[in-house]
Amino acid sequence: MPVESVQKRQVHDIPPPQIIVIEHHAETVICPHCGQIHETSFPDDVPAHLQYGQTIRVLMVYLCIYHLLPMNVPQKSSQTSMDVLLSKQP
């Protein structure tokens, strides 16, 4: 049966927020030639063993500073929307 016409409808949406974890490794090796220990370093923006990424930090600052929300509101919201309970510490 030939198609007479096609109508379109679009739904625009935002994908659900999802936590991604990027793990950095810094290797230590002993040079087989000179015997010295050589260490690689972590990126400058990764100073801690565990930290929040830039997007989460920007979102929390936006919610708490620009919208003047108490810290526990975005914290609870992150638990609901991303299934992650953010620390009260920055």
- Decide if residue 3 touches Zn ion (CB under 5 A): no
d(CA 33, CA 57): 44
Region near Zn ion per CB under 5 A, out of 32-40, 43-51, 52-60, 80-88: 32-40
- Decide if residue 31 touches Zn ion (CB under 5 A): yes
Identify which of residues 3 and 37 has a Cβ nearer to Zn ion in the complex.
37
- Decide if residue 6 touches Zn ion (CB under 5 A): no
Non-local (6+) Cβ contacts of 53 within 8 A are 22
**Binding stretches for Zn ion (CB under 5 A):** 31, 33-34
